[in-house]
Amino acid sequence: MNLSPALAITPEVVQEHGLTPEEYEKVKQLLGGREPTLTELGIFSVMWSEHCSYKSSRVHLKRLPTRSRLVVQGPGENAGIIDIGDGWACAFKIESHNHPSFIEPFQGAATGVGGILRDIFTMGARPVAVMDSLRFGPITPAKAAGEGARATPAELHKNHSVLEGVVSGIASYGNCFGVPNLGGETKFEPCYSGNPLVNAFALGLVRRDQIFYAKASGEGNPVIYVGSKTGRDGIHGATMASEEFSEASEAKRPNVQVGDPFLEKLLLEACLEAMQTGAIVGIQDMGAAGLTCSTCEMGGRGHVGIEIELDRVPQRETGMTPYEIMLSESQERMLLVAQKGREDEVFRVFQKWGLDAVDVGRVTTDGKMRVLEHGKVVAEIPNEALTDDAPVYKRPLQRWEPPIPREKPDGIKLAGPGDLTENLKRLLASPNICGKRWVWQQYDSMVQTNTVEGPGAGDAGVIRIKGSQRGLAMALDGNGRWCYLDPRLGAMHAVAEAARNVACAGATPVGATNCLNFGNPEKPYIMWQFSQVVDGMTRACEELEVPITGGNVSFYNETLGEGIYPTPVVGIVGILEDVHQATQPHFRQAGRTVVLLRAGEPGDITDAESEFGSSEYAKEVLGAVWGYPPELELEREAALQKAIVEMIQTGLVESAHDCSDGGLAVALSEAALPQAVGVRVSVASQGLPPEFALFGEDASRIVISCDRDKLSGIQQVAVKYGLSADVIGETVPEQVEIKLDGGVVVSAAVSELREAYESALEKALRTETEVVAAD
Amino acid sequence: MKFGVIIFPGSNCDHDAYWTIQHVARQPVTFLWHESHDLENCDAIIVPGGFAYGDYLRTGAIAKFSPVMDSVRKFAAGGGLVLGICNGFQILCESGLLPGALMRNVGLKYVCKPVYVRVENANTPFTSTCREGEVLTIPIGHMEGNYFCDEATLAELRRDQRIVFRYATPDGDITPAANPNGSLDNIAGICSPGRNVLGMMPHPERSSEPELGCTEGFKIFESLVGAMAEK
* Tens digit of each residue's pLDDT (9 = 90 or more) over A643-683: 999 999 999 999 999 999 999 999 999 999 999 999 999 99
* B120 close contact with A: CB closer than 8 A: no
CA distance A479 to A456: 19
Residue B51 has its nearest CB partner, among A168, A176, A464, at A176
Nearest CA in chain B to A581: B211
Residue A452 has its nearest CB partner, among B50, B55, B211, at B211
- ipTM of model: 0.98
Check B56 against A262: CB less than 8 A apart: yes
pLDDT value of residue A600: 82
Give the residue from A242, A199, A57 showing the smallest Cα distance to A569.
A199
Mean pLDDT of chain B: 97
Mutate to test the interface with B, among A260, A267, A444 (most CBs of B within 10 A): A444
Check A464 against B211: CB less than 8 A apart: yes
Nearest CA in chain B to A165: B109
CA distance B184 to B154: 9
pLDDT value of residue A8: 81
- CA of residue B231 relative to chain centroid, distance: 21
Catalytic site positions of B:
86, 203, 205
CA distance A555 to A199: 13
Give the residue from A65, A113, A11 showing the smallest Cα distance to A443.
A113
Check A176 against B113: CB less than 8 A apart: no
pLDDT value of residue A251: 60
* A445 close contact with B: CB closer than 8 A: yes
Q: Which residues of A426-452 are buried (b: 16+ CB within 10 A; e: fewer)?
A: bbbbbbbbbbbbbbbbbbbbbbbbbbb
pLDDT value of residue A773: 46
**Distance between A110 CA and the closest CA of chain B, angstroms:** 15
* B203 close contact with A: CB closer than 8 A: yes
- In the beta sheet, which residues pair with residue A307? A362, A370
Task: Judge whether A51 counts as a catalytic residue.
Answer: yes
Q: What angle do CA A749, A750, A753 make, to 5 degrees?
A: 95
CATH for B3-230 is 3.40.50.880
* B66 close contact with A: CB closer than 8 A: no
* B5 close contact with A: CB closer than 8 A: no
* B141 close contact with A: CB closer than 8 A: yes
- In the beta sheet, which residues pair with residue A226? A334, A357
pLDDT value of residue A2: 39
* A245 close contact with B: CB closer than 8 A: no
- Containing A16, the helix (H) or strand (E) segment is helix A11-16
Which residue ranges in chain A fall short of pLDDT 50? 1-5, 144-147, 771-775
Check B53 against A449: CB less than 8 A apart: no
**Residue A510 dihedral angles phi and psi, to the nearest 5°:** -125, -15
CA distance A702 to A641: 9
**Distance between B109 CA and the closest CA of chain A, angstroms:** 6
Catalytic residue among A51, A99, A160, A586: A51
pLDDT value of residue A248: 61
Residue A306 CB contacts under 8 Å (≥ 6 apart), including other chains: A216, A223, A295, A296, A298, A299, A361, A362, A363, A364, A369, A370
Q: What is the end-to-end Cα distance of chain B in Å, rounded? A: 9
Which residues in chain B touch residue A266, judged by CB atoms under 8 angstroms apart? 9-10
Residues 448-467 of A with CB under 8 A from B: 448-449, 451-452, 464, 466
Residue A443 has its nearest CB partner, among B112, B205, B213, at B112
Instruction: Provide the pairing of β-strand A368-373 with A305-309.
Output: parallel
**pTM of the predicted protein model:** 0.96
Give the residue from A294, A346, A122 showing the smallest Cα distance to A213.
A122
Residue A719 CB contacts under 8 Å (≥ 6 apart), including other chains: none
Q: How many CB atoms lie within 10 A of CB A471?
A: 26
Residue B129 is which amino acid?
Answer: T
* A442 close contact with B: CB closer than 8 A: yes
Instruction: Provide the pairing of β-strand B187-191 with B44-47.
Output: unpaired
CA distance A253 to A245: 12
Check A265 against B19: CB less than 8 A apart: no
**Distance between B132 CA and the closest CA of chain A, angstroms:** 27
Check A177 against B212: CB less than 8 A apart: no
pLDDT cut 70: percent of chain B above it = 100
Domain ranges of chain B: 3-230
Q: Which residues of B79-116 are buried (b: 16+ CB within 10 A; e: fewer)?
A: ebbbbbbbbbbbbbbbbebbbbbbbbbeeebbbbebbb
Which residues in chain A touch residue B141, judged by CB atoms under 8 angstroms apart? 175, 444-447
CA distance B58 to A323: 38
Three-state SS at A48: coil
Residue B50 has its nearest CB partner, among A172, A178, A464, at A178
Mean pLDDT of B70-95: 98
Residue A449 has its nearest CB partner, among B19, B54, B55, at B19
Residue B16, judged by CB atoms within 10 A of its CB (0-12, 13-18, 19+), counts as buried
Mutate to test the interface with A, among B57, B211, B215, B218 (most CBs of A within 10 A): B211
The CA-atom distances, in angstroms, between A339 and each of A280, A353, A359, A366 are: 6, 21, 12, 19
Check A176 against B211: CB less than 8 A apart: no
Interface A–B counts its CB contacts (< 8 A) at: 84
Q: How many CB atoms lie within 10 A of CB B221?
A: 24
pLDDT value of residue A606: 82
pLDDT value of residue A256: 73
Mutate to test the interface with B, among A439, A446, A448, A464 (most CBs of B within 10 A): A446
Per-residue DSSP letter, B23: I
* DSSP state letters, A218-245: STT-EEEEEESPB-STTTTHHHHTTS-B
